[in-house]
Structure formats: structure tokens, C-alpha cells
Chains A and B, each alone.
Chain A
Amino acid sequence: DIVMTQSPDSLAVSLGERATINCKSSQSVLYSSNNKNYLAWYQQKPGQPPKLLIYWASTRESGVPDRFSGSGSGTDFTLTITSLQAEDVAVYYCQQYYRTPATFGQGTKLEIK
């Protein structure tokens, strides 16, 4: 199975500042035939199910604010939240869908400083 490792485990950022979460896969999730990275990011707010934010490493799901962006390729990826809002407090997970079984990172808890 592909192992996903996120850093840091928790993060405290001031309102209006930038938050950066990293995700590393144990093997490349870039499919050479279509040049796409099979990497997604999910947001889970307290008491709620996860919500898909970003797929193909950098494509925002419909309705997701543009302060959320994803980047990276191969084995190293980043979720960036510019200008942090109070409603962004959540746990964020990366997930690879390159190969079944789908696997998730351990999660990064984002809080307000």
C-alpha cells in the first residue's frame, strides 16, 4: 500500500495569515500517461464528515474558495490556505487515489493562533 505522511500534525495560524500543510507519498502518484497526480485533499470540521477540497493535486472542487490551493507533483504535495478564516479550523487529510486501496495521511489539525 502507498503510505501518506503529512506534516505537521498540528498547526496554529493567525487569522488572515497563510497556512501550509505538506503531504508526502511513499511512491509517486503521478501517472505518466496523462501527467496527472492522483492526490486529493479533504477538510473535516468538528462533528462533520470529510469534504473534498482539491483533486488532481491542484484542482479545486466546485464551490471551494480560491484561498485554498494545492501544489506539488510525484511524491511531495502542499495544501496552502491564504488569508486564514475562522471557518477554516478543521483537520485536513491528503489521500492518494493512484492505486487501490486508497490511503490517507494521518491528518493535520489547523487551529487559530
Chain B
Amino acid sequence: EVQLVESGGVVVQPGGSLRLSCAASGFTFDDYAMHWVRQAPGKGLEWVSLITLDGGSTYYADSVRGRFTISRDSSKNSLYLQMNSLRVEDTALYYCTKDRDSGVYSDLLDYWGQGTLVTVSS
């Protein structure tokens, strides 16, 4: 059974930093690209970032590029999101998601974690 378990969400002040983690199990982690998607309270879904299966390429939404860094550790079957220079508008539930296709990423998301809540507030 595929499981994605996020952690690391807390209340942080504007300008602060935070690192989210996602522990993956139930599939061959090294075979799939991984994504972060966020959802502000009461709002819709916003794709945040993508990392290819080998970690060789990363992509970001314009809203977070230059502030967020996605990474992965195959030895720990884990995905990460380093978040710097946080803004109030980054407040959201952050989901770790798995790309449906093994190999080349498709941006089709077949498994989602329960999410971890990041609140940016003074």
C-alpha cells in the first residue's frame, strides 16, 4: 500500500524558514518523480514543485521560485521542501504527491499524503 506521510508544518513568522519532509513507502521510490502541492485554507489546489526520479531536475511555481528548494533522499525514501523567506501567502496545507508514471514525469498525481499545515503569521 502506497503511503506518503508529511511532517514539519508549524507556525513561523514572515521571513522565516522551514523544512517539510515526506516519508514514502509501498512503492519503489527511485522510480517516480515526486511533487509538492499546496492548498490555502478554504481555497483550491496549487502545484508548488517537482523533482525528477533521480533528483537531477527540479521545477517550481513562479510564486515560490528562488525561495523554496525541493530535494529527495533515496536512502531514506524521503522527499523534502526547504522553504525560506516565508510570506503570509505561503500559509497552506502542503501535500506530498506521487507522479503516476514511472520514469519520465507526467505531472499526473495518483497518491497524496494527508498534508502538513504551514502557517506564516506574526
Contact = CB atoms under 8 A, between A and B. Distances in A.
Interface of A: 1, 38, 40, 42, 48-52, 55, 61, 93, 95, 97, 100-107
Contact of A100 (B50, B95, B109, B112): B50
Contacts of B115: 49
Contact of A105 (B44, B106, B113): B44
Interface residues of B, number: 20
A93 B108 contact: no
B47 A103 contact: yes
B45 interface: yes
A102 B112 contact: no
Interface string B44-74: 1111001000000001011000000000000
B44 A106 contact: yes
Contacts of A107: 44-45
Contacts of B62: 1
Contacts of B107: 38, 97, 100, 102
A95 B46 CA distance: 10
B50 A55 contact: no
B110 interface: yes
A86 B106 CA distance: 32
A102 B47 contact: yes
